[in-house]
Amino acid sequence: MVEKKLVALTFDDGPTPGITDQVLDVLETNQVVASFFLIGQKITEKSEYLVRRAYEMGCSIENHSRTHPGMPELKDQEILDEVSYTTEQIVRITGEQPKFFRPPYISYNQKMYDLIDLYFICGYGCEDWEPSVTAQERINRILHDAKPGFIILLHDMEDNVQTVEAIKTIIPALKEQGYEFVTVRDLFQKSGISPQKNVIYMGADEVRKNYE
């Protein structure tokens, strides 16, 4: 059981000019770090500055596939290509390999575990891809679920200004409760837990049991 009040804030589906910038501004203002799970095809000449900025701020840069497909239906080589492309882009920009993978739609199977040489991450979300979920609802759900070793799953995707607004409250509120914001890598390291293969993590010491 994780006893330290550690929390990993994570963002999927970027980099997104106009949104990821605002997320990074909020992180910088609050002097915290996060982890960004990138979609490879969204890393372009016009967006890679965001990857570089996040990395230079101390954030970790992780893998969320190239095109965000439902991956259990793909052929083996297609799965490998989805992951390797994004890894290559991350290494090109940061010089560092990703260590974690978040499956698109949190859809995964044993074949993916066997093929993808990264640790699988899920986390606690608040359906923040859905515009009808207000910023206040997002805040309420994340703060309700918070516990030591917590992984927060949010999205820095197009037009997602409500999540930008939500983290302006979530981050200070959790800091006020004594939480330290860390990358997913440091979440495991500082919790004294070595991530394992063939599981997907909801938190540093909590795995999700079933395929969905």
Torsion of CA 201, 51, 17, 184, to 10 degrees: 20
Q: Which strand (E) or helix (H) includes residue 176?
A: helix 161-176
Residue in 13, 68, 155, 186 annotated catalytic: 155
Q: CA distances (Å), 32 to each of 7, 94, 96, 171, in order?
A: 11, 19, 20, 8
Whether 117 is a known active-site residue: answer no
Write 206-209 long-range contacts (CB < 8 A, 24+): 206/149, 208/122
Q: CA distances (Å), 153 to each of 45, 94, 114, in order?
A: 26, 22, 24
Q: CA distances (Å), 142 to each of 91, 153, 178, in order?
A: 31, 9, 15
Which residues are known catalytic residues? 12, 155
